[in-house]
Structure 1
């Protein structure tokens, strides 16, 4: 058991030495931790021969002699492991941050508490907290009563209206009218419709589209079944959308 483990361990160390010859550049950032690989002629060959000899001998004493003869070997391999650990953790953090920011609805936030009318064809008023959350792919509107139970109803709404490519914001607003959502929710949603005189629909939609493409640009896009990458399709749709937008100006 110990014999096979030592041999496997030596083979891994040999592979690290052969593949990672730039450890000098890696450890130069650490003060006093430099690995002088090139300052000794033929050192890598000597280490490789010693490791092969260990694989045939299986001697713990020989392994200790090797580490004692080359003290920088263990230190450099340890620094290399820390370096790759930092790279992996940093890559995971950046990827998670891109996903969280892309699907977040906190790009533009507005909140207000007011005594407002509740629904159409009714004079009833409620004390509620109204929130507006604008993201890259749409707008999220919340209405929470203060208290939640008022007029024999539970006033706790969280409605989302999507404007990303392929979605119809006007149709979503029409469905909200049919459902009879509260007046504050419909009032805010109406301001982002394409025909609203406020004119914020095209601005936010274009800004969200290009910001989304910019966030996903560093991520290598997978190939679709048709052989065209999603990034190429996004760039083509961006040119078409830009031409339509310039025609509307």
Structure 2
């Protein structure tokens, strides 16, 4: 979580140097061409674009806004999205990659942030789409230090639960899409959510140790990195924090 990263960068001691963790470099996958279309449809390893919307556009946009409500001290604290139990959040550099994993951790960290690093999210522009990710948003977080523009996407399962959240800084050079492609509809947008095995089965459940994930790791360095972090989310997150430059938060917000 963007705000949580800033908070812990102040309070986590330098003894993090003792922590060791795996990364995508440990897997050394061979070169590949990214395919964002539906893969392995009907299996436990199906990718997210095998699913079609089962809810209204208003529902998907509403769920995205509920997510931002959890990070907005002016919003109703009871406004919480319908998370899958294995929901994951991936925030691309300069943020810290896997920053949330499981419903419990997502809710707990957002509650902590309301007290230790409060923000508001006054600017929100969200749209629903007929292919995954079904909700996509441009938002601006307001912190004491200034505004932080973010582009964020939301993937859902058949039941309408949020299974994957993916974020980029809304700054030149950090967005995943071309300038003319505001809503990232081009087939080659380098998002992770369309490549992770399991997000396209009915429940949208991933298995970091499953056969489908292991096979995907061998051909996709980003999936390999995600799976390694999902197997040990806390230690790998702390390692990412230790390795991040001191001003990563300012860079991500454009300060």
Q: Shorter-chain TM-score: which interval?
A: under 0.3
Larger Rg: 1
| TM-score, structure 2 as length reference | 0.20
| TM-score, structure 1 as length reference | 0.20
Q: RCO (CA 8 Å, sep 6+): is it higher in 1 or 2?
A: 2
More helix by share: 1
